[in-house]
Amino acid sequence: MFTKILIDKMDKKASQQRQQHPQPSMSKSQSIYYPMRVTPHQEISATGTMGVGASNTARPASGTRISANAATTTTTTTTTTNTSHRNRSTRQLTRRVANPLHEDREEVLMNRYFNGRRDLISSGIHASVSSRHHQSVQQQQQHQQLVSRTTVDLSEKLAKINRRAAIKELTALQQKNMQASDKNEEALKELQESIPEISKIFDVHCRIGSGTFSTVLLGTLQRERSLVETQRRRFAIKHHNPTNHPERILRELECMFRIGGVDNVIGINCCIRYNDNVAFVMPYMTHDRFHDIYRQLSLQEVRDYLRNLLIALRHVHKFNVIHRDVKPSNILYNRRTGKFLLCDFGLAQRIAEDGTVMQSNELSSNAVSALMKDMEKSRSAGGLQDGNSAQAEAEDYMANRRVRALGGGVTSPAVDPMANMQKLREQITAHLSKKDIAAQKADTLRLVNRLRLTSPNVDPNGYVINTNNTKKDMHASRAGTPGYRPPEVLLRYPHQTTAVDVWAAGVIMLSMLSALHPFFKAPNDCAALSEIINLFGDVTVRKTAFMLDRLIMLSQKVAALDLRRVCMRFRYSDFFLAPELHRRYRRADGSTELCRNCEQPTFNCLCRHSAHHLEMYDGLDIFPANAYDLLARLLEVNPQKRISAEEALKHPFFSDHHRITSGMPVISPHILQHQHQLRAREPLPSGANAPRTLKPYVSFPSELATASATSATVTASTTTTGGASLTGESGVAGPLAVATPSPTVANV
């Protein structure tokens, strides 16, 4: 009965629809039989209900019958095969039949259906199935349309963002290139205008570097124009800024001329002056930027780099000259050929007879004229012999490869000894969650902050005072680059020696071993001293200050860190921070116990005299224990005890051709596997006379022999003078301008 009413209503509506959208090819009674397999009850009546026709009985059919009232359809294939949907519709209808209250609701739905269908028809899609079914189909379609529209919208937006980012990047790159080419043009023009003579001798090609005091350009000789490009000798033309003090230029010239040209120290081919403009012509050397390579250098490369640096320093120091600006950007190092040159003597100083460093204005006019005469003599003797052609460089490379093939020389970066390590790293980091990564970052940041912390209350200009009233406070040179200045410079000690350069070499080695560059990054000398205290402890620095008649006042004690563990913590941070390891040491409440001094988890404690149970990570480090011993000697806080370049060259680190790694607890099977790989790579020499590792050098501590993680910095604090008695309470004489360059971290 209710069904009848419903059907009538729907018929009425349908006929209205038909009037609005007449279907010319079908009469009211027309039916279409589709030759498709259907199941019983699959007949679809004109009213859109299924299996409930006028008779409301199930009729087996060999095809899908669609009455003309439902209009023609092309969508039945999907709807008729969707049996679950159909059953649901049937059930719903049955329910509605049983419950008259559904009628009104049904009517609303029907209206919606027909309105929707009208829309569909007008848009070219013909509806043909039951209203409920159609409604859901329609909803599905709408949903799909919406989803696809949203997807299209999103991907369009994404594409737009990408396009915009790419354009931005490209513009920035173009701007950078333009700026670079502008700078290039500018530098070329400036050189040619200020020293016209240059353009008569050289073809100046481009700018290759610039510093605070000069611009360096690449030039080739005009008289070699007829040669193939690769055979032309190349020269670096260092054009000094006209604001440079003439004394400074003269000093650099003297060093390069008298000291340079041998033992990895850059020489000079000629010097051209025109009014107040000066240019040095030096052999050009292609080199790698330290920043690009310091993390990938193998043990052998580190060894070669440091040996070359120490050879250069030994040579410079023989002349009683302090280079004062030893830092990676003043070292030209070619990783392919293994060639090495120490350059930039702009800050070099000679040590006077009385031990003080000579100021530039102390160079006598006699010395200057002697220098000029000597230079002139050498020019007429030959001149411009040392240019370095691309072909010569390629030959060097080939020769180097041959030497390597015979088992010597520098290792090829192509044979990457750290490939296994990289693989292992990838395995470890592959499964890290965002939370793990965030925790790791926080941990490393805490350590960096711990190393770089300076008390905010400290007076950066008055953090150190002279304790010796009787002596006149002499001028102490501060020349050098921040981050590479040694404690004696930061303590304003006037009697500086060549040990200044050795410290800087130690800082470079520290960056290599820790894979952290720059390692020291203080904005001023006071903060720089704090960084040193944070690493070497307050006692060591206070003792040194006392030795140098200096007083520093610290608000807190700071325990020294273990150099090897610090380096390893940065270099192998993925292993130190492996989540599985941290989970193992986690307390019941989920927290991790931290060392109060170094602020690292206790099992990763970096303190030199740690009382905690430590995870050892042995077998992981590519650097042997004696590398850290040398590092500690180069970075000896007390300049009087610091190793010299000559002594350093005799250190076992440079004669050690293999290393022994002791078996230690490991954190995971990955590391075990890696240890195995490492050992496989480093076979012990078989001959009876083969050199053994760890030959005693000066006096080796027993710890070194066991390759334990305890510090190699054994000689760092052997002074018996009580450092603690110097902290002000002891009544040290002198104008106590109290200062506290202290790292305020430690709660020892």
Ligand X SMILES: Nc1ncnc2c1ncn2[C@@H]1O[C@H](COP(=O)(O)OP(=O)(O)OP(=O)(O)O)[C@@H](O)[C@H]1O
Query: Looking at the annotation, which residues are catalytic?
Result: 325
Q: Which of 338, 346, 624, 743 binds ligand X (CB under 6 A)?
A: 346
216: contact with ligand X by CB under 6 A: yes
53: contact with ligand X by CB under 6 A: no
Which of these segments, 206-214, 521-529, 555-563, 683-691, binds ligand X (CB under 6 A)?
206-214
Q: Which of 329, 524, 677, 744 binds ligand X (CB under 6 A)?
A: 329
Helix (H, G, I), strand (E, B) or coil at 206: strand
Length of the chain: 748
Sign of the dihedral defined by the CA atoms of residues 701, 707, 710, 712, in that order: positive
The nearest distance, CB 535 to ligand X, in angstroms, is 25
217: contact with ligand X by CB under 6 A: no
278: contact with ligand X by CB under 6 A: no
518: contact with ligand X by CB under 6 A: no
190: contact with ligand X by CB under 6 A: no
The nearest distance, CB 207 to ligand X, in angstroms, is 9
Cβ contact 63:34 at 8 Å: yes
Which of these segments, 131-139, 210-218, 451-459, 518-526, binds ligand X (CB under 6 A)?
210-218
238 among annotated binding-site residues: yes
280: contact with ligand X by CB under 6 A: no
Whose tokens are 């501060």? That residue is: 478
326: contact with ligand X by CB under 6 A: no
User: What angle in degrees, to the nearest 10, is found between the helix axes of 669-681 and 419-430?
Assistant: 170
269: contact with ligand X by CB under 6 A: no
Pick between residue 389 and residue 626 the one whose CB is nearest to ligand X.
Answer: 389
Cβ contact 692:700 at 8 Å: no
480: contact with ligand X by CB under 6 A: no
- CA 705 distance to own-chain centroid: 34
Q: Which of 14, 50, 188, 236 binds ligand X (CB under 6 A)?
A: 236
Q: Judging by DSSP bridges, how do beta strands 349-350 and 64-67 pair with one another? A: unpaired
453: contact with ligand X by CB under 6 A: no
Calculate the dihedral angle through the C-alpha atoms of 126, 128, 133, 136, rounding to the nearest 10 degrees: 0
Pick between residue 166 and residue 394 the one whose CB is nearest to ligand X.
Answer: 394
344: contact with ligand X by CB under 6 A: yes
CA-wise closest residue to 43 among 69, 19, 10: 69
209: contact with ligand X by CB under 6 A: yes
208: contact with ligand X by CB under 6 A: yes
Kind and range of the H or E element at 286? none
The nearest distance, CB 387 to ligand X, in angstroms, is 10
Q: Which of 109, 194, 211, 647 binds ligand X (CB under 6 A)?
A: 211
Residue nearest ligand X, CB atom distance: 211
The nearest distance, CB 203 to ligand X, in angstroms, is 16
Please count the other Cβ atoms lying within 10 Å of the Cβ belonging to residue 194: 17
Helix (H, G, I), strand (E, B) or coil at 235: strand
Pick between residue 212 and residue 470 the one whose CB is nearest to ligand X.
Answer: 212
482: contact with ligand X by CB under 6 A: no
The nearest distance, CB 210 to ligand X, in angstroms, is 6
Please count the other Cβ atoms lying within 10 Å of the Cβ belonging to residue 586: 14
Kind and range of the H or E element at 293? helix 290-293
Q: Which of 45, 79, 330, 337 binds ligand X (CB under 6 A)?
A: 330
User: What angle in degrees, to the nearest 10, is found between the helix axes of 434-452 and 525-536?
Assistant: 110
The nearest distance, CB 213 to ligand X, in angstroms, is 4
Burial group, residue 175, by CB count within 10 angstroms (0-12, 13-18, 19+)? exposed
Which of these segments, 329-337, 494-502, 542-550, 728-736, binds ligand X (CB under 6 A)?
329-337
Pick between residue 238 and residue 571 the one whose CB is nearest to ligand X.
Answer: 238
285: contact with ligand X by CB under 6 A: yes
Instruction: List C-alpha distances in Å: 114 to 74, 493, 620, 624.
Output: 17, 97, 75, 84
282: contact with ligand X by CB under 6 A: yes
The nearest distance, CB 499 to ligand X, in angstroms, is 21
Q: Say which amino acid occupies 54.
A: A
Cβ contact 491:532 at 8 Å: no
The nearest distance, CB 536 to ligand X, in angstroms, is 27
Whose tokens are 């981050």? That residue is: 483
Q: Which of 212, 380, 470, 702 binds ligand X (CB under 6 A)?
A: 212
Q: Say which amino acid occupies 71.
A: A
The nearest distance, CB 290 to ligand X, in angstroms, is 10
Cβ contact 309:290 at 8 Å: no
Q: Which two tokens stand for residue 68?
A: 């003309």
Instruction: List C-alpha distances in Å: 722 to 384, 539, 725.
Output: 58, 9, 6
Which of these segments, 208-216, 268-276, 587-595, 719-727, binds ligand X (CB under 6 A)?
208-216
Pick between residue 261 and residue 701 the one whose CB is nearest to ligand X.
Answer: 261
Q: How many residues bind ligand X (CB under 6 A)?
A: 21
284: contact with ligand X by CB under 6 A: yes
Between CA 650 and CA 694 the distance in angstroms is: 12
Cβ contact 323:347 at 8 Å: yes
Between CA 299 and CA 22 the distance in angstroms is: 88
Which of these segments, 86-94, 131-139, 281-289, 426-434, binds ligand X (CB under 6 A)?
281-289
Calculate the dihedral angle through the C-alpha atoms of 159, 164, 170, 173, rounding to the nearest 10 degrees: -130
Residues contributing to the annotated binding site for ATP = 238
Residues contributing to the annotated binding site = 238
Which residues of the shown chain bind ligand X in the complex (CB under 6 A)? 208-214, 216, 236, 238, 266, 282, 284-285, 325, 329-330, 332, 343-344, 346
